[in-house]
């Protein structure tokens, strides 16, 4: 093969490389975009400002219990995206509610429980999960703090909008009223485990397993072009 023909072929190969290499790189990156569903869990703690957080709260919620009936200690919320920005569902799980509570009058007879909702970001109720769940044992007879627990079987909830909020209303059912309050101590009160699933996307180059096979296949044109270039350079230098 003459030197002129070698230069022509090399030029063609280089032109093809300029055209094909960006396409190959793009295809590899696209092929390596994988979507995985990841499940995690957490406990949620009521905070004094009405937020549900992942860290232990401080302070307390208090309500007057001079008359019988249902009383609201506090509404507490967490924006679903605070669990994860790509949240897809709150998963089926047993949520154990822990109430650390006291009554300030020993003649009071109360139970603590919760109502659970999903609301829009503006507070409008989107879905009522349950009303009247996780009733505690009766709190009466003394003014000491008592840690009371009760389970709730949470069914899976598919997230519609990550800006929605999970709202838990901490409630008291006053069975015997008196001149006194029910107080929920926040540092020892919580619920969970709350299991949730979010979407995780990974992009880039993979060199093992199925990803490695796809990467190698898509890189073959690139490898061929490099081989041809090396061959012709060696040929022109008289090495082959």
Domain CATH code at residue 137: 2.60.120.260
Asked if 111 and 140 sit in the same domain, the reply is yes
Asked if 162 and 43 sit in the same domain, the reply is yes
Asked if 2 and 87 sit in the same domain, the reply is no
Residues 6+ apart with CB under 8 A from 68: 174, 175, 176, 177
Asked if 8 and 52 sit in the same domain, the reply is no
Asked if 53 and 155 sit in the same domain, the reply is yes
**Number of structural domains the chain divides into:** 2
Asked if 10 and 47 sit in the same domain, the reply is no
Structural domain harbouring 25: 1-33
In tens digits, the chain (240 residues) has pLDDT values of 555 666 666 677 667 666 766 665 665 555 555 678 899 999 999 999 999 999 999 999 999 999 999 999 999 999 999 999 999 999 999 999 999 999 999 999 999 999 999 999 999 999 999 999 999 999 999 999 999 999 999 999 999 999 999 999 999 999 999 999 999 999 999 999 999 999 887 655 454 545 555 555 556 666 666 666 666 666 666 655
In a domain, 157, yes or no: yes
**pTM of the predicted structure, to 2 decimals:** 0.73
In a domain, 47, yes or no: yes
Asked if 11 and 98 sit in the same domain, the reply is no
């Amino acid at each position: 093969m003459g030197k002129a023909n070698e230069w022509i072929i090399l030029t063609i190969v280089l032109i093809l490389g300029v055209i094909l290499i960006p396409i190959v790189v793009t295809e590899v990156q696209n092929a390596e975009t994988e979507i995985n569903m990841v499940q995690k869990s957490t406990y949620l703690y009521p905070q004094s400002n009405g937020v549900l957080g992942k860290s232990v709260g401080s302070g307390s919620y208090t309500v007057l219990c001079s008359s019988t009936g249902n009383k609201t200690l506090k509404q507490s919320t967490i924006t679903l995206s605070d669990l994860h920005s790509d949240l897809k569902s709150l998963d089926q799980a047993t949520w154990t509610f822990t109430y650390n509570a006291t009554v300030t009058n020993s003649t009071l007879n109360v139970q603590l429980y919760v109502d659970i909702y999903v609301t829009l970001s503006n507070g409008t109720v989107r879905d009522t999960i349950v009303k009247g769940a996780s009733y505690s044992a009766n709190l009466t007879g003394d003014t000491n703090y008592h840690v009371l627990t009760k389970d709730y079987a949470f069914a899976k909830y598919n997230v519609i909008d990550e800006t929605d909020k999970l709202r838990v209303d901490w409630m008291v059912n006053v069975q015997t009223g008196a001149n006194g309050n029910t107080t929920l101590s926040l540092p020892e009160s919580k619920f969970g485990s709350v299991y949730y699933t979010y979407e995780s996307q990974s992009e880039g180059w993979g060199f093992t397993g199925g990803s490695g096979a796809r990467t190698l296949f898509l890189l073959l044109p690139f490898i061929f072009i490099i081989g041809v270039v090396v061959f012709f350079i060696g040929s022109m230098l008289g090495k082959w």
